[in-house]
Structure formats: structure tokens, C-alpha cells
Structure 1
Amino acid sequence: MTEPGPGERECPSCGFAVPEDAEVCPYCAYEFPVRKASMTLSAWLFVGLMILFAVPLLAWLLGWFG
């Protein structure tokens, strides 16, 4: 196993250092997951909606209004 240097990351399957932009490990053929932009957008939308509904509910439960 090798330690990843600058511009590299460690393969979770075999532990070798591979370039950060590699989609597949050249040693063990592990396919690195690619984060989709739609997933990131969905996560932020979910967080926003939770805050939108949680803040007024928390304020109501604490007796700040109503």
C-alpha cells in the first residue's frame, strides 16, 4: 500500500494511491462513485425545506408566538 500524495486519493478497495480525477482504480478496477449534481441539489433542497418548516415549529413549541 502507498500513501496518497498531493493530487491523489486512496482506493478504498486495495489501498493504493490513485489520481484524484481517476474514475477507476488502475490496480483493482474499483469504480469510484461519481456524485451527481442532481443529488447535491436534492440534498440542499431537503435541508432548505426542513429549515423552512422546523424553525416556525420550534418557535411555536417554545411559545415565542401563537
Structure 2
Amino acid sequence: LKYVDGRTNAEIGRMMGRTEGAVKALHHRTLRELQERLAEVQDDAPPSPPLARSRRSGSSRQRKGRA
């Protein structure tokens, strides 16, 4: 509701029959749990291939040093 519908904590609280503080606490706990679960999934995932480097990488640094 907060991110999809753009609702405030007070609005969500009224909809859920909770106080604004309770919504904030629930939001915090839920985000922390989501972060932990995503970390577990990332730990189980195979490593991703390295990103390809651009042929131009580093050239801008050289130009800046010469100018």
C-alpha cells in the first residue's frame, strides 16, 4: 500500500485498524525480513558472470589527466 498506492502510514493504519506507530513498526520489520530472505536467495544463487568492460573505460581518466 505504501509503495504501490502511495498511501501514508496514517492512511494504512486507518485501513488496517492500527495506529500509525504500529504501521511504522510493521513496515520496518517487514522490510528487514524481506532483506534477510533476499540475502538467503542471493547466497544460494550461482555467481553471475562478470560484467563486460567498455572499451572506453579509463579513457576519460587519461584525457582528464592530460588536459
- TM (normalized to structure 1)? 0.39
Which structure has more strand as a fraction of its residues?
Answer: 1
Higher relative contact order (CA 8 A, sep 6+): 1
Which structure has more helix as a fraction of its residues?
Answer: 2
- TM (normalized to structure 2)? 0.39
